[in-house]
A and B are shown apart, each in its own frame.
Chain A
């Protein structure tokens, strides 16, 4: 038995860039799992992909499974032997397993004694196992959208599979999939490599490397970054991370080249220029030192060389010129009708079947702006904010909705506050994105999102699992982010307008925001939200206070005591606040605690009132010695019922009084 490297490569027609990395991970994980289950060992050396290949190299894969001994269970002893002699059942079982009846052994199980045999099983060859397993794994790789190509009911994959490499040591693992026979022959780059190239695990990357293919995705990424740096010199390229990934997986041998922009077009809005470059041409834009766009761009070729006679640079530059020309056409065409004149056109643009047109939505948004106390500019911006949906520019560049409206509003002489609010009203587009920069922008953004949320929840369109076609999570997340980061005083329950499902939905988003985006500990978030979640600014302040007080010595032990109090009260079925009768207090720790509490509660209430939560919490934490002594020396469950009730009343007053900042029992403590 020997351990040898295994090379598997799926050769495909060009796989969409966004799907390659995930396919590589799936292929690696499924292969690892299969090798482990088959006892074939192996460690992954390479798992990577290009548009035309998904490749895996596993070192140390055994050439056959180790032999093993299986325990095969037979009939119960009572049925297997009669008068000490094997019955027909025993003989049949022995024969089936190729042993004599004398070799049968007895195994004790929970159900009784059974006969059994120890059967030696010779390990299968890796060649046989892999030939059966690899094609199954390949077809199990899941893609968002697959095709068939050999005819109806044929196998499905992301694109046609054209070759398959499967080599273990120097032996080809022989199988067939979709009419393709496996072998040790790969293909190089479509235009710069050999059409047939025999490979093994030891020379795979190197041979492809000299045939126009950089197998390593990180190698391609680095080559792009290095190439861009060399091309732009002292200018600065705007490296969009998602675009970079696209280009890494759109090429087998990426080479960046610089192209030129006609200065004429630089008068178009930067947003439009960048969108055309970034989304429509997959070019990196380049900035001058002052942040303005430079009259150049970076395209990434899928080939080696540096375009010595500038054909590729010239070609890309003239394509971009035509694109910009189109954008200019849209801009000029759209100016024939102002945003204000387009409002009535919104009546024929459907927002959602049951929720009506964008004109209906606009009117509802206006009511929300009024409800939130928005000013005139916010109302004007709301009226106009959806009008860009009817423009040619947005029809062509949908990702610029809002932005185009803002630019047009500015060009058409709307007040700056109105234009900026329209421009920003889809913000934040994600948790990383910033909130609108102006009060009016935040108002329109809130109204837009609140309307969508109320409307969709109102007709039962509530997101489930990954299905969220109206992006309601993002909308709710945006509302939370705006309320907190702009310190707006609106009540979450008022925004949810009595819809409890929407209220819960918001609460989930609030939790997510403070935990994932702001990095608060989950138990702190739970503790604070349990003490009230309606005013998010207050939630934030209480969270900060809890986080700050937490490392102090008294806090966690006190939190543990509060949890103990809560348990005691729960067991005693105490609800609500009961009056503490001083006469029933026992001198010593109990009376001391009551006294400390009486002194503190006024102080804490005042600090809480003035929202000095940190001071309030510090004051509460100072109660710890008194609480500890109480639990040390005093038995809550006193024999006298009135004394017991009085002690419970003291504890419940304490808990209630001090739980209005955070429910300390939610804090997870070491003790």
Chain B
């Protein structure tokens, strides 16, 4: 039986063997691997790209104080982007399951419609949640639009929820019982983090301070977006730094949401503010990429 980390190694090796760059996690808080620049920005434009990486993803509202066997504040996603998607992409995906020891003849597998969309990112796609024995183990999406821009090449995004997948493989009824290594349990590594962040997110986060932070990052991002047009040497322009500000806003929004500080009425408005930034940066990125091609 493979450990948590062994499974990750195998998946990375599998996708590396299929032409993916193996990236490391992005170092700004994100709610999903999709939000990393390696996905959100790289899927734009006509440049083929293949990448895979683990991304710890923070979802403050999903925190359960370390009590729930299957729901986590922070979970690890393995994110794969194949741009453009090859014709045999689903076979490749099934191959990855076999690579981590799943006998596809002994388990039930269904592709259930699930069209991913992220209003905050102005992004959506068509796809499925992949269900194994009733458990959602993967989100599969053909991206159609990102940052409000129709995509030239249609990338396939494969997102594995690693904790669920490994709990399933190891036959554990709780993610906390997962063997991270033969000697160390998942709980040993992560339980304190789940508990403490749940306490912070639900009980102690300072709403006023979070709003201030949100506004600071929003302002900084907008300042950069506005500065692009008159900036002379486009390829030096810090589009990627502007995008980090978008991610900061998105994470703070999620914290405020979990804290119950955003009313349903306000929610739509705040999502719209983050989307405006995300769409703005996406357009800069496309524009800047085009400039670079001419320069070269």
Contact = CB atoms under 8 A, between A and B. Distances in A.
Interface of A: 13-14, 16-18, 51, 145, 147-152, 159-160, 162, 190-192, 250-251, 281-283, 299, 301-303, 309, 311-312, 314-316, 318-322, 325-326, 329, 348-350, 357
A356 to B, nearest CB: 10
21 contacts: A13-B111, A14-B111, A14-B113, A51-B111, A145-B115, A147-B126, A150-B154, A151-B152, A152-B152, A190-B90, A191-B104, A191-B105, A191-B109, A250-B110, A314-B133, A315-B132, A315-B135, A316-B108, A326-B68, A326-B71, A348-B265
A311 B68 CA distance: 23
Given A162-B87, A322-B68, A14 B128 contact: yes
Contacts of B188: none
A151 B144 CA distance: 9
Contacts of A301: 108
Interface in B193-243: none
Given A14-B128, A147-B126, A147-B154, 13 more contacts: A13-B90, A18-B113, A51-B111, A147-B142, A147-B144, A151-B152, A192-B105, A250-B110, A251-B110, A299-B134, A326-B68, A348-B264, A357-B265
A159 B68 CA distance: 35
A16 B128 CA distance: 9
A190 B109 contact: yes
Contacts, number: 109
A319 B87 contact: no
A301 B107 CA distance: 9
B263 interface: yes
B173 A318 contact: yes
Nearest to B172: A318
Contacts of B87: 160, 162
Interface in B68-93: 68-71, 84-85, 87, 90
Given A302-B109, A329-B67, A160 B133 contact: no
Contacts of B292: none
Given A150-B154, A311-B133, A319-B133, A325 B68 contact: yes
Contacts of B264: 348-350
Given A14-B111, A302-B109, A325-B68, A151 B134 contact: no
User: 3 closest A-B pairs (Cβ-Cβ)?
Assistant: A315-B133, A348-B263, A16-B113
Contacts of B84: 151
B135 A319 contact: yes
B113 A17 contact: yes
A454 to B, nearest CB: 22
Contacts of B270: none
Nearest to B70: A322
Interface of B: 64, 67-71, 84-85, 87, 90, 94, 104-113, 115, 125-126, 128, 132-135, 142, 144, 150-154, 168, 171, 173, 263-266
Contact of B133 (A150, A251, A316, A349): A316
A349 B105 CA distance: 48
B156 to A, nearest CB: 9
B69 A302 contact: no
Contacts of A325: 68-70
B203 to A, nearest CB: 12
Contacts of B133: 311-312, 314-316, 319
Given A309-B106, A315-B107, A148 B266 contact: no
A152 B64 CA distance: 42
Contacts of A321: 69, 173
Contacts of A326: 68, 70-71
B150 to A, nearest CB: 6
A14 to B, nearest CB: 4
Q: Which of B68, B151, B154 has the most CB of A within 10 A?
A: B154
A311 B133 CA distance: 8
A308 to B, nearest CB: 9
Contacts of B71: 322, 326
B121 to A, nearest CB: 18
B154 A151 contact: yes
Contacts of B108: 299, 301-303, 312, 315-316
A17, A250, A314, A322 pick with most chain B CB within 10 angstroms: A322
A250 B133 CA distance: 14
Contacts of A149: 85, 142, 154
Contacts of B110: 250-251, 302
B57 to A, nearest CB: 18
Contacts of B109: 190-191, 302-303
A159 B141 CA distance: 11
Contacts of B105: 191-192, 303
A160 B70 CA distance: 33
